[in-house]
Amino acid sequence: MTQTNDGKCGCCCGIDLTRVKEIISECGTKENCLIPILQKVQDEYRYLPEEAMALIAEKLGISPATVFGVATFYAQFSLDPKGKYIIKVCNGTACHVRGNKTIIDAIRNRIGLEAQSGTTSDMMYTLETVSCLGACSLAPAVIINDKVYGTMNPTKMVAAIDELE
């Protein structure tokens, strides 16, 4: 892997890998450091860039296939870029019965997302549906980044997104 002097990946992606190097320095280069490193890189970039995974493999002395295998095995990791705000709408039974569909529609309308889920082109929002959040008494429930929003309706949902901005 080639890198420029400013820490950016030498290929066309232009991703700054400086933080990846710092995270590897902080965590160490033993093979059992792989998952903590991936977690921190994901926290930093909101996904696992391919170039970051290649650098991690190189520094830990393991194959890129091993890193890729771990990254794809655990649901907590994403290989796709995510928005600044990750909106997870619960699709569990209680939330479904209490109208999560109207909330999903309100979110899509508010953030301008045509697809049922995915990331807006300005990289501000990622909309996902997830299984039970464990907050059924608050159904319908939504999480935006780490904050839980309970007993949502379309109006409250749009207001919550407005507050983010």
Site of interaction with ligand FES (CB under 6 A): 90, 92-95, 132-136, 139, 141
Of residues 112 and 134, the one with the C-beta less far from ligand FES: 134
Please state the closest distance from residue 81 (CB atom) to ligand FES, in A.
Answer: 27
In the numeric block, the tokens 């033993």 are attached to 30
Please state the closest distance from residue 154 (CB atom) to ligand FES, in A.
Answer: 17
Of residues 57 and 106, the one with the C-beta less far from ligand FES: 106
User: Which residue stretches of the chain are H helix?
Assistant: 18-27, 34-45, 50-60, 64-73, 93-97, 100-111, 154-164
Of residues 4 and 145, the one with the C-beta less far from ligand FES: 145
Closest residue to ligand FES: CB criterion: 92
DSSP 33: G
Q: Which two tokens stand for residue 89?
A: 């709408």
The answer to whether the beta carbons of residues 52 and 40 sit under 8 Å apart is no
Of residues 28 and 134, the one with the C-beta less far from ligand FES: 134
The answer to whether the beta carbons of residues 67 and 53 sit under 8 Å apart is yes
